[in-house]
Amino acid sequence: MNRAVMNCHGQRSGLLRATGLLLAALLSACGGGSGSSSSSNNDLQLPLSAEQRQAVLRLPVVVHVLYRDEQTNISDEQIQSQLAATNQHLRALNSAELATVPEVYQPYIADARIELVLADQDPQGQPSTGITRTPYPDPVDGSCDYCTGTAAQWDPSRYINIWVGEYSTRTGRLAALGSAVAGPSSAREQWGITLEYRVFGSLEYGEPEALGWLHEDYAQGKTLTHELGHYLGLLGHIQLGEGHRLYSCDGLPDTSCSNSELTMSFMRTLQPDAELKMFSRSQADIMRHTLLNGYLQGLAQL
Ligand SMILES: [Zn+2]
């Protein structure tokens, strides 16, 4: 589907918190824009002014709930709990778990100065809760087959679309926890994030026994945080050796810049929520670059 992105993203099979689909071919994030043939892109500086590094970037979000019963029709409170959790992660306000990050990495914990807000106007300028609800009997899979009718995509240059449904295969097996599609080499009409409803939000669901290990290990709302990282230009997964380091490996002792040491990053995959704790300074700069100079320029409300 998209070779440039596939090259960046590498392994995808069997991932629970997978991108599953296409991501942006942001050169700096792929390590292809530095002119170096090595695997690293360390010391590459993004063109962010001091002012651009400081502004808090508020991103309007619409959550499209795709439901087939009462449980899948998640509550407004559940949605709000999810945005609150991701905003804590983006602003490095999850201080209790950040305190457990090893000292060597502490200087590289980033406040990305990015916040999600539910849209208060729809694309036609009418007042909105930023939430749509659409009956939908089938699984979601990141294909955007469900992006029609009341669940239709809102202009991705103005909103981040998040679809929440049952992320299962046609046989009912859970295929992934989420996916993100964005960037100049993917179809704009599919831009957005799709998430499994059972890992969306941080409140207890009505029937926790039906949710099993998912709710136990993935109940802190970090799947959206991870997929949002992809949506904003962080292409790779830390432990798969795909680089998105900019500044001397974020200060880590490993000079290979393979990212493999940043074990507590939100961009690690196949890990329970409790293991994901931080964005690094370089990751934050890539996300801000995407919003201020890249393919999502104009989305942020300053
Ligand atoms: Zn991922």
Domains annotated for the chain, with CATH where assigned, are: 3-33+55-292 (3.40.390.10)
Lowest mean pLDDT among 62-66, 95-99, 188-192, 235-239: 235-239
pLDDT in tens, 72-92: 999 999 999 999 999 999 999
Helices 222-231 and 76-90 meet at what angle, rounded to 10?
Answer: 60
Report strand pairing: 160-165 vs 131-135.
Answer: unpaired
Distance 154 CA to ligand 1 centre (A): 23
Mean pLDDT of the chain: 79
Distance 126 CA to ligand 1 centre (A): 34
Whole-number pLDDT of residue 39 = 38
3-state SS, residue 178 = strand
Whole-number pLDDT of residue 108 = 85
Question: For the residues 199-226, what does the mean pLDDT come to?
Answer: 81
Question: For the residues 171-179, what does the mean pLDDT come to?
Answer: 81
Judge whether residue 212 has pLDDT over 70.
no
Distance 127 CA to ligand 1 centre (A): 33
By residue count, the chain amounts to: 302
Question: For the residues 100-124, what does the mean pLDDT come to?
Answer: 93
Nearest to 240 by CA among 262, 260, 267, 263: 260
Whole-number pLDDT of residue 174 = 80
Cα 90 to Cα 257: distance, rounded to the nearest angstrom: 23
Distance 45 CA to ligand 1 centre (A): 24
Whole-number pLDDT of residue 193 = 97
Is residue 226 within 8 Å of 19, Cβ to Cβ? no
Whole-number pLDDT of residue 246 = 62
Distance 247 CA to ligand 1 centre (A): 22
pLDDT in tens, 277-302: 999 888 898 899 999 999 999 999 87
pTM score of the predicted model:
0.84
Question: For the residues 214-240, what does the mean pLDDT come to?
Answer: 87
Question: For the residues 159-183, what does the mean pLDDT come to?
Answer: 87
pLDDT > 90 fraction of the chain, expressed in percent and rounded: 51
Tokens of 59: 């991103």
Distance 235 CA to ligand 1 centre (A): 8
Nearest to 286 by CA among 222, 224, 242: 242
pLDDT > 70 fraction of the chain, expressed in percent and rounded: 73
Distance 18 CA to ligand 1 centre (A): 4
Distance 13 CA to ligand 1 centre (A): 11
Whole-number pLDDT of residue 240 = 60
Whole-number pLDDT of residue 209 = 62
pLDDT in tens, 6-62: 222 222 223 345 443 333 323 222 222 222 333 344 455 677 888 888 899 999 999
Whole-number pLDDT of residue 37 = 30
Judge whether residue 205 has pLDDT over 60.
yes
Distance 57 CA to ligand 1 centre (A): 22
